[in-house]
Structure 1
Amino acid sequence: MQAANDNVIEGDLLMGANAIARFLGVTPRQVYRLTYGELVPHFKLGGTVAARKSTLSKWMAEQEAAA
């Protein structure tokens, strides 16, 4: 039996610069620049850059509010 929380994170993970780029509307090269510069929330799974849609959405809302 699945817990109620399982549906919250289902489909939330973005694996790789291409997936993150599509979500943010930027190029994969820009994703690498943003991650290497520690400008966007991310983490590594193995050697692959990864991020959560929910975390990126929250981060974008914070950036917009601060602008």
Structure 2
Amino acid sequence: PADGRPLLGFCAEYSPVYLAAGMSGLGFKFAPGVAGIAFEQLRSHLAGKDRPSLGWSALSPRRQMPAASLAGIQP
């Protein structure tokens, strides 16, 4: 991404597509933290307890995508 931060989270509010990408070759270093965040977000989603990711909105894929582009994403 242009801002240099990874993408971590669901593509849209009701999307089944979850991204964990854009780590710029540092994925091995970030992997434990990314896995923990992803686990919590996916567990909440699957339990039907979706809530805003506390403190992780800066990594949300939605920050990079205009709303119109999300309409074409398919699982």
TM-score, length-normalised on structure 2? 0.27
Q: Which has the higher helix share?
A: 1
Larger radius of gyration: 1
TM (normalized to structure 1)? 0.29
Larger RCO, structure (CA 8 Å, separation 6 or more):
2
Question: Relative to total residues, which structure has the larger strand share, 1 or 2?
Answer: 1
